[in-house]
Chain A
C-alpha cells in the first residue's frame, strides 16, 4: 500500500534521513520505532510532504507521490496526524472535522462524522466545544478523527500516546485496532513500546536517520536484545 524507497531528507544543512526504505501492506499497522531524534517525525513529515525529500520515492498504492505538494498527497490518500496535534483551536470540534472532509474512495473504509464519533464517542458531547478548550487526550481523538474524515488510504500517526494518561492511551490503542479491523493501513511512530506492541503487526527501527531493523512486531518483542540495542537510552 505504502512503499518508501531510498528516501533522503534534510533539516537545513543536516541530513535527517539516509536512504530509508520500507513498505506497509494494505490493512497493516506498521510501527516506526526508535529513540528521540532518530528521524521518525521527519520521516512522517516527508511522506506527507511537509519536509521536502532530496531523493527517493514515496509510492501510495503504486502511485508516486514524490514532488507533490502536501495537499495533493493528502488528496491522494495520506492522512496525517502530527505529533503536536495541531487542532484548530478557534474552530469547534465539528468544524475541525469538516476542514478535512473528503468523499470516500474505492478500496478503503469510508469515514464520516457519525463513524468518527462512533470510534471516539467522547467527541459526541464535545461537538460544539472549541479545539482550544479540549484536553490533550480529546485533542488527540479529534486530530485522528480529523485525518480519518479525509478518507485516507494510509494514516500517519505521529506519537499519539505522548503526554497522555495510561487510561487514555488504552482507549487509543483500542481505536487503532478498530481502524485496523476496518481495513485501514497505519504507519505509527511510537516511543511507547507497550502501545506499539498492542497494535502493530510489523516494525521498522530507525536510528539517527538509518533503518536498522525490519521485521514482524512479534519477532521484535521476542528478541529482548533488539529492544535493548535500539530503544534503550
Chain B
C-alpha cells in the first residue's frame, strides 16, 4: 500500500513538468496551427537558465521562485523572438515546413546550450525550505514533489481563468476556431500569435525550471520531453488544456508504476494506451473532432508531371554513371556514395508517404532502424549470414510499419505527424533501454558483409543494385493505379472515398510499402557501418529525411535523390569541418525554409519556367 502511494505521488509530481510543456504546445498549436518542435528546447532552456539563476540568486525560497519565474519569462521572450523572426513568415506554409523549421531551432538551441553551459549535467540546488520529506502513509515523500503535485492544478486553474475570463483569452479561443474571421473583426493576429507564443514558451520554461531540482539539466532533455509531450497532446486532444493535464497524469503514472514492475513494459503500456485512445477517440480524450475538409489538408506542391519521358533515361544514365564510379574514386568516396544510395532509398520511401500519400511522417527513421536492427540482431544472436539478414531487414521494418501504420492512418495532418514521431521514439527507447537484447547505447558491433561482398567495391554494387531496384519499384507503384488512388486520397479524402477508394486501406498499404523499402535501406546501412546504434532510429535521422525531401522538392520525382546526396554529403563534410555542425545545419535549414521553400529542384524548375515564358 505504502509503495503504491509513493509511486502514485512520484507519478503525480512527474506529471507537472510534462503538463506545463504539453499545455504550452497545445495552446500554441490551437491558435497558430504550428506544431512547435522547439518546445522541448524551450523546456531545456528553462532548466539551464534556472540553474544559472539559482546558483547566482541563492537557495532561499523566495529566490528560488524568483529564479523559476525569471527563467520562464526569459524563455517566453526567446519564444517570441523565434515567432517573430521565423514562424511569422511561415504561417501560410504547409505543416511540414513548420516542423522542419522548428526542428532547425532545436538544432541551434542544442549547440548554443552546449557552448554556454558545457556538456556536463547540471543539478540545480533545491531550495533549503523545500528540502527533506514528509511521511505520507508510512512512506517518505520529498516535500518538493508535493509542491509540484500542487503546481499542476494551480497552473491548470490559472490557464482556465486566463482563457475564459480575460479578453485576451476570448480572442485566443476565437482565433483557435476561426482566425481569419477574428482578423475580419479587426484583431491583429500577428500580435495575438506572438503573445500566444510567449505564453507557450513561458509555460515550457517554467516546466524546465521546476524540474531542475529533481532532474539535472542535460542536453537530451529537449527531444526526450518533446516526444512525451506529443504523446500527451495526441492522447489528451490537441488544443485542450484539460486534456493535456489528464493525459500528462496518465503517462506519468504509467511511467511511475511501469518502471518498478519492468522498465521495458512501460513503452508497451504507453503504446497500448495510445492505441486504445486513438481507436476509440481519434481526436483525443478531451479534444474536439475536426471536420474532414474537402480541400487538400496540406499543400504538397505541384504534382510531378515528369513521368515517363525523362524519368527512365535520366535514371538509366545515372545508374550507368554510378556503375562506372568505382573506376573514378577511392574506397572512401565509394563508402560515402554507398551511404548516399542508402539514404536515397530512405528519402524516396519517405516521399512515397509524404509527397504521394499526403501523410506527414515525422518518424520514418523507425523503419530504417527496424531494418538495421532486424538485420543486426539476426547476425548477432543467430549468426545469420548477410543474405538472410538482408531479406529479414525489410520484413522486420514492414511488419513494424504495418503495426504502427494501422494506427497512424486513422489520423491525418499534424496528429499523424506527432504519432509517427511517438512511434519512432518508442522504437528508439526500446533499442536504447533493452540492453540484454539490443545492447542499448553500446549498440551491436561486428555486422560485416559475407566474405564475397566484403570488398567495398562489391558492397557498393550490392547497394546500388538493391537500392535502385527498390527505388524503381516505388516509382512503379507511384505511377500505377495504386499510386493514383493514393494521390486522389491525398488531394481530397472525401471525393476519393466517393469514387470507391478505400482510403484508409490504401494509405495503410502505402505506409507498409514505404516502411519495407526503408527497412531494406536499414539492413544495407548496418552492413555498411559494421554496427548499429540507437542513433539510427533517433529523431535527427527522421528529420534528415524531411530535409532531403524539402531540399529536393517534396513532389519532384528525382528530388529525394538530389536531397539525399546534398544532405548526406553535406553532413559528412560538415561534421568533419566544425564542432558546431548542428547549429550550422539548423541555420541552413532556416535559410532554406525561408528563402527556397520549393527546394533545389523546385527553384531550378521555376527558374526554367520563367526563362521559357
B449 to nearest A CB, angstroms? 54
In the complex, A80→B180 CA distance in Å?
12
B170 and A80 contacting across the interface, CB-CB below 8 Å: no
A88 and B183 contacting across the interface, CB-CB below 8 Å: no
Q: Which of B174, B184, B188, B288 has a CB less than 8 Å from the CB of A88?
A: B174
Q: Which of A71, A99, A102 has a CB less than 8 Å from the CB of B170?
A: A99
In the complex, A75→B189 CA distance in Å?
13
- Write the chain B residue with the least CB distance to A80: B184
A71 and B174 contacting across the interface, CB-CB below 8 Å: no
In the complex, A74→B167 CA distance in Å?
18
Residue A89 lies at the interface, judged by CB distance under 8 Å to chain B: yes
B167 and A98 contacting across the interface, CB-CB below 8 Å: yes
In the complex, A89→B185 CA distance in Å?
16
Residue A221 lies at the interface, judged by CB distance under 8 Å to chain B: no
Q: Which of A86, A91, A98, A100 has a CB less than 8 Å from the CB of B186?
A: A100
Chain B positions 104 through 125: 1 when the CB is less than 8 Å from some CB of chain A, otherwise 0: 0000000000000000000000
Chain B positions 273 through 291: 1 when the CB is less than 8 Å from some CB of chain A, otherwise 0: 0000000000000001000
B171 and A99 contacting across the interface, CB-CB below 8 Å: yes
Residue A146 lies at the interface, judged by CB distance under 8 Å to chain B: yes
Contacting residues of chain A (82-113) with chain B, CB-CB under 8 angstroms: 82, 86, 88-91, 95-96, 98-102
Q: Which of A69, A90, A101 has a CB less than 8 Å from the CB of B183?
A: A69
- Write the chain A residue with the least CB distance to B188: A71
Measured between beta carbons, the chain B residues less than 8 angstroms from A98 are 167, 170
B170 and A86 contacting across the interface, CB-CB below 8 Å: no
Give 20 pairs: A residue, B residue, CB < 8 Å, sorted on A.
Answer: A69-B183, A70-B180, A71-B184, A71-B185, A71-B187, A74-B186, A86-B178, A88-B174, A88-B177, A88-B181, A90-B177, A91-B173, A91-B174, A91-B177, A95-B173, A98-B167, A99-B185, A100-B185, A146-B185, A150-B185
In the complex, A98→B165 CA distance in Å?
11
- Write the chain B residue with the least CB distance to A98: B170
Measured between beta carbons, the chain A residues less than 8 angstroms from B464 are none
A-B pairs, top 7 by smallest CB distance, nearest first, are A74-B186, A100-B185, A86-B181, A70-B183, A71-B183, A88-B174, A99-B174
Residue B457 lies at the interface, judged by CB distance under 8 Å to chain A: no
Residue B182 lies at the interface, judged by CB distance under 8 Å to chain A: yes
In the complex, A167→B407 CA distance in Å?
50
Measured between beta carbons, the chain B residues less than 8 angstroms from A91 are 170, 173-174, 177
Contacting residues of chain A (116-174) with chain B, CB-CB under 8 angstroms: 146-147, 150
Contacting residues of chain B (143-195) with chain A, CB-CB under 8 angstroms: 167, 170-171, 173-174, 176-178, 180-189
Contacting residues of chain B (178-217) with chain A, CB-CB under 8 angstroms: 178, 180-189
Measured between beta carbons, the chain B residues less than 8 angstroms from A86 are 178, 181
Residue A226 lies at the interface, judged by CB distance under 8 Å to chain B: no
Q: Which of A49, A72, A147 has a CB less than 8 Å from the CB of B185?
A: A147
Measured between beta carbons, the chain B residues less than 8 angstroms from A69 are 183, 188
Measured between beta carbons, the chain B residues less than 8 angstroms from A75 are 186
In the complex, A48→B173 CA distance in Å?
22
In the complex, A123→B189 CA distance in Å?
28
Measured between beta carbons, the chain A residues less than 8 angstroms from B170 are 91, 95, 98-99
| From B173, B174, B180, residue with most partner A Cβ within 10 Å | B174
- Asked, given contacts A95-B170, A98-B170, A99-B171, whether A88 binds B186 with beta carbons under 8 Å apart, the answer is no
Chain B positions 337 through 373: 1 when the CB is less than 8 Å from some CB of chain A, otherwise 0: 0000000000000000000000000000000000000
- Write the chain B residue with the least CB distance to A146: B185
A88 and B178 contacting across the interface, CB-CB below 8 Å: yes
B18 to nearest A CB, angstroms? 25
In the complex, A100→B288 CA distance in Å?
25
B177 and A99 contacting across the interface, CB-CB below 8 Å: no
A74 and B181 contacting across the interface, CB-CB below 8 Å: no
In the complex, A48→B185 CA distance in Å?
9
Measured between beta carbons, the chain B residues less than 8 angstroms from A88 are 173-174, 177-178, 181
In the complex, A150→B185 CA distance in Å?
7
Residue A50 lies at the interface, judged by CB distance under 8 Å to chain B: yes
A50 and B187 contacting across the interface, CB-CB below 8 Å: no
In the complex, A91→B181 CA distance in Å?
14
B565 to nearest A CB, angstroms? 36
Measured between beta carbons, the chain A residues less than 8 angstroms from B173 are 88, 90-91, 95
In the complex, A20→B531 CA distance in Å?
70
A102 and B184 contacting across the interface, CB-CB below 8 Å: no
- Write the chain B residue with the least CB distance to A96: B174
A226 to nearest B CB, angstroms? 32
In the complex, A88→B288 CA distance in Å?
14
Having A71-B185, A90-B288, one finds 6 other A-B pairs with CB under 8 Å, namely A74-B186, A89-B177, A91-B177, A99-B174, A99-B182, A102-B186
In the complex, A101→B178 CA distance in Å?
17
Measured between beta carbons, the chain A residues less than 8 angstroms from B184 are 48-50, 70-71, 74, 80, 82
In the complex, A98→B172 CA distance in Å?
12
- Write the chain A residue with the least CB distance to B164: A95
B61 to nearest A CB, angstroms? 39
B167 and A150 contacting across the interface, CB-CB below 8 Å: no
Measured between beta carbons, the chain A residues less than 8 angstroms from B188 are 69, 71-72
- Asked, given contacts A88-B173, A88-B174, whether A71 binds B181 with beta carbons under 8 Å apart, the answer is no
A71 and B186 contacting across the interface, CB-CB below 8 Å: yes
Measured between beta carbons, the chain B residues less than 8 angstroms from A49 are 184
In the complex, A100→B182 CA distance in Å?
8
- Write the chain B residue with the least CB distance to A77: B186
Q: Which of B187, B189, B288 has a CB less than 8 Å from the CB of A99?
A: B187
In the complex, A70→B182 CA distance in Å?
9
Measured between beta carbons, the chain B residues less than 8 angstroms from A146 are 185
B159 to nearest A CB, angstroms? 16
| From B182, B183, B185, residue with most partner A Cβ within 10 Å | B185
